[in-house]
Chains A and B, each alone.
Chain A
């Protein structure tokens, strides 16, 4: 096989791993709370600024800055739920979308006020790995591994803990939950905290690969939602698989054509999928 194609394929898989975290977070929140956090990518952006600020401005070691980003964005998710989503739980979905969309602009504007429009770089890079003429960025590989660990931790949480199992149950039938002593409102808060923590982890993995600026959310927010819908909104496994599919499409698309066109191909593929399978690729 052409080493460059192989490289593109591998990069696609690595990219898919990073897409997977925000997709899982979005799906988790949507599946449980039934509200789409339109500002999800902006939560990631805040986390990226957090890591950048703590590491480059405050001189924290990188691992400490990473460790701080998770609870920071997790708390932000809980705040978002308590202040914006909870008062609108009974409202029409369009109001919920508009409100979380409003938070998107609030966070963008806030970041611009505080940090300006400069591109901020963390300036860390791991040496690339070489294997038979195939070069893989060490940073991307590390980010991919961390994403898999994060996804695995989420899986274990949903599979083995009482709250995690209740989260999977509530996604299917929320009215029956109080009969088991489950207060859905508390489960919503837990899901929002976990959804936020996933955004925080995604922030750590992205900030080592991309420069952060107030509009960075636009570069992966739309594709995140697209992957969610493609995998079936609320379907965790579907979203996870679709993330890798999309990663490979974007990456090989830029191998055959160029980066701009690769996103055109990705969105074109998305439109075809939605026509053919309106409820998502992996709908049962």
Chain B
């Protein structure tokens, strides 16, 4: 763990859309080098939480900081340059662009353009399949490949924290296992990861700690092993098995 790496700290965050409030006094901390999960049922506010961190949704109150950066007052397009990369829900790839062009969009910020070749090499080493398909249209790939491409796109700007929103959504079980394996590798290389998932059992195997979000509130937090063993959590979120 490097001392100069920033921590992500949220305190008392309230956020929502119009009359609908999705988050109530949410606090969260991700230390450098950690892999943290946010789990909870559909509609718990997990996606909104990530959107607050990447500046897509402005908190109504509370603070959100990444190191020295006040997320609430920084324009969203300036956040990738401060090291925040967000792989959004449903991947949101550009289906009509090739894999390599998607990576180019990911490397849009000036600092990333200079390092494009180096970062693309890194992504292609991480996902050899992407190297084979670099000139293929992203929309023509399988769901798992598209998820890898979306993660690769986010890695292009040399992030210091990677936000992943439901990377397993809509994928076959075997592919889900592959995606989590990749998340584990990225984490093991020292990148800070915050991952939001409904797939609680799987995600608890790759993160160090997790928060349980329900109806916009943090109802539990702790080390993955503790949460996985907690009977109340097992019953509510792991389907009792």
- Whether, in the assembled complex, A178 has its beta carbon less than 8 Å from a beta carbon of chain B, the answer is yes
Q: Return chain A residues, CB-CB under 8 Å to B96.
A: 168, 172
A184 to B105, CA, bound (A): 13
Q: Are A165 and B76 in contact (CB under 8 A)?
A: no
Q: Are B153 and A180 in contact (CB under 8 A)?
A: yes
- Whether, in the assembled complex, B109 has its beta carbon less than 8 Å from a beta carbon of chain A, the answer is yes
Q: Are B92 and A173 in contact (CB under 8 A)?
A: yes
Q: Are A178 and B77 in contact (CB under 8 A)?
A: yes
A180 to B79, CA, bound (A): 9
Q: Which of B142-197 contact A (CB under 8 A)?
A: 153-154, 157
Which among B60-68, B80-88, B117-125, B225-233 touches the partner chain? B80-88
Complex: chain B residue closest to A186, CB-CB: B77
Q: How far is the CB of A132 from chain B (nearest CB, A)?
A: 43
**A182's contact among B77, B153, B154, by CB below 8 Å, is which?**
B77
Q: Are A168 and B97 in contact (CB under 8 A)?
A: yes
Given the interface contacts A162-B107, A162-B108, A173-B92, does A180 sit within 8 Å of B97 by beta carbon? no
Given the interface contacts A178-B77, A179-B76, A181-B108, does A169 sit within 8 Å of B97 by beta carbon? yes
Given the interface contacts A168-B97, A169-B94, does A179 sit within 8 Å of B86 by beta carbon? yes
Q: Which of B101-131 contact A (CB under 8 A)?
A: 101, 104-109, 112-113
Q: Return chain B residues, CB-CB under 8 Å to A183.
A: 75, 77
Complex: chain A residue closest to B78, CB-CB: A181
- Whether, in the assembled complex, B54 has its beta carbon less than 8 Å from a beta carbon of chain A, the answer is yes
Q: Return chain B residues, CB-CB under 8 Å to A166.
A: 105, 108
Q: Are A162 and B104 in contact (CB under 8 A)?
A: yes
A5 to B81, CA, bound (A): 60
Q: Which 3 pairs of residues, A with B, have the shortest CB-CB distance? A: A181-B80, A181-B109, A178-B76
Q: List 18 A-B contacts (CB under 8 A).
A: A162-B107, A165-B97, A165-B104, A168-B97, A168-B101, A169-B97, A172-B95, A173-B92, A175-B56, A176-B92, A177-B77, A178-B54, A179-B56, A179-B76, A180-B109, A181-B108, A183-B75, A183-B77
Give me 14 other A-B pairs in contact (C-beta within 8 A), A165-B105, A178-B56, A182-B108 excluded: A162-B107, A165-B101, A168-B101, A169-B97, A173-B92, A176-B92, A178-B77, A179-B80, A179-B88, A180-B108, A181-B79, A181-B80, A181-B108, A181-B112
Which residues of B come within 8 Å of A, CB atoms? 54-56, 75-81, 85-86, 88, 92, 94-97, 101, 104-109, 112-113, 153-154, 157
Which residues of A come within 8 Å of B, CB atoms? 162, 165-166, 168-169, 172-173, 175-184
